[in-house]
Structure 1
Amino acid sequence: MFGIYRRPRKSTHILSALFYECSNQHVPGFITQAEELKAKGVDEILLVSVNDPFVMKAWAKTYPDNKHVKFLADGAAAYTKALGLELDLSEKGLGLRSRRFALLADDLKVTVANVEEGGQFTISGAEEILKAL
């Protein structure tokens, strides 16, 4: 999902690459609002997903206008597990994934953690992070 860092670093975590909400709403929102986020002091916008780096590189290429969002792989879900935000979707054939969320951190201290429930997409978008800045 997304991590947004501005000396606050911001981070967004995506449930999975190419899920409808992730690919068509969550990611595009951060890409289109990256300049606004940067104007409010955001240094980095990181998209982290429990996927391999090859999937993340290919997924990033589907957004040719992206200049600010970095796509990062959490292949073994180590980062996701450390945050306690893993989601087991084995019953659906997807294995271990991450819950959808957005973090805002200032000097590595999390100041906002918008964690979605049950696959929702209501509080982890770029608009909500902009409101929190």
Structure 2
Amino acid sequence: MASKQIIGRGPRGLPFCEGVLAGDTFYLSGSIGYDHERGGVVPGGIVPETHQAIQNLRGVLQKVGMDLVHVVKVTVYLRSMDDYGAFNEVYASYFPENPPARETVAVSGLALGASIELSFIAVRS
């Protein structure tokens, strides 16, 4: 059985961690476009929120020596499918070649009124 390592803590003592490293596979918790320096979701809607969420997840990946090239699976939660096109433009800039497997689902709401939440699975190669 692979060893399991908890990485980071959820914000404000919420009952989750930033990710779990099990062997060479890293399961990252979801991230919204939360700006940890300013406190709150970045203003401006889907484009800046997508950039911020990906940067947040990239920071968690880097805690275990990984980066976006290690991502094999992405789950996308959109508050509105009207944002799908704008989201895809931003997303493609981070995964221009050999993009990970992905599903995108519309949801009725996200934490703090966010427009998007992303979660990643990454594998150390």
TM-score by length of 1: 0.34
User: Which one has a bigger Cα radius of gyration?
Assistant: 2
